[in-house]
Amino acid sequence: MNNELSVGPIGVFDSGFGGLSILREMRRVLPQYDYLFLGDNARAPYGVRSFELVYQFTLQAVKHLFAAGCPLVILACNTASAKALRSIQQRDLPQLDATRRVLGVIRPTVERVGELSRTGHIGVFGTPGTIQSGSYDIEITKLHPSFKVFGHACPMWVPLVEYRESDGPGADYFVRKDINALLAQDPDIDTVILGCTHYPLLLDKISRYMPAGIHIVAQGGIVAESLAEYLRRHPEMASRCTTGGTCRYLTTDDPDRFAEMASVFTGEPVTAEREQIV
């Protein structure tokens, strides 16, 4: 890959639609930048896939966004952040282009829980892949060695969102069941992280069934604020992110279906283009 300093949009990647909940907040906090969103809808969900596959798919997506000129890529997917980010940052980036950056969503989220929790007992909802990786546990206890972390995988939540059932009665059933299962692990959990970018679409129901007094941490605003702070601290990177205020959407699956679903996440009409990323 050509190592001349790239200049272009901020790349935002997710396995499917979930990353749009992060992108929406980024565009609210940093509307001046151009964004290029890539959803690997043809191969979603990632949450039930092996470490090796999530890594391979995520690396392909990063290379694709780099080839499109993105100097900075945000993995707006917890599963990809949990299973692929570290390898890409440490092993691949130095060879691909050491001047570009790939950032994830777990670290910025974890940095906020210290401010919220009084008991230091943190619950995490995520895909099976994110929960099995132990990434939240590792990152939280790095920052707060005395904290205790309780994870619970919610394999039905992503399909509920992807199939537009997040407002239906099936969602009530699974949200209540999974909240009960998480809280049954420990009576002192006072902060619960929604560790999957799809889950904000279930926020109404999660808020309805979560007992009062428990903080629910959704990531969009946190990741957007953290990106703004990153760009303030790295003006050399900020100057490489173009500022036309545009947003393009790429999907590996049917662009019309993507556009229809994406508008549910973004609250505005979306047009999408199909891309092959293999």
Positions in the binding site for ligand DGL (CB under 6 A)? 14-16, 18, 44-47, 77-79, 127, 130, 158, 196-198
Kindly tell me which of 9 and 47 has the beta carbon lying closer to ligand DGL. 47
Kindly tell me which of 120 and 200 has the beta carbon lying closer to ligand DGL. 200
Helices and strands per DSSP (H, E), number in the chain: 14, 10
**First CA to last CA distance, the chain:** 16
Q: Within a 10 A sphere around the Cβ of 105, how many other Cβ atoms?
A: 27
Tokens of 26: 């980024």
Residues marked active site are found at 77, 196
Q: How many CA atoms lie within 13 A of 219 on its CB side?
A: 30
Cα 206 to its chain centre, rounded Å, is 18
Name the minimum Å distance from CB 92 to ligand DGL. Answer: 20
Beta bridge pairs of residue 252: none
Tokens of 261: 């679903």
Name the minimum Å distance from CB 78 to ligand DGL. Answer: 4
Kindly tell me which of 77 and 240 has the beta carbon lying closer to ligand DGL. 77
Say how far apart CA 72 and CA 97 lie, in whole Å: 11
Tokens of 113: 């829980």
Kindly tell me which of 127 and 191 has the beta carbon lying closer to ligand DGL. 127
Name the minimum Å distance from CB 47 to ligand DGL. Answer: 3
Name the minimum Å distance from CB 236 to ligand DGL. Answer: 29
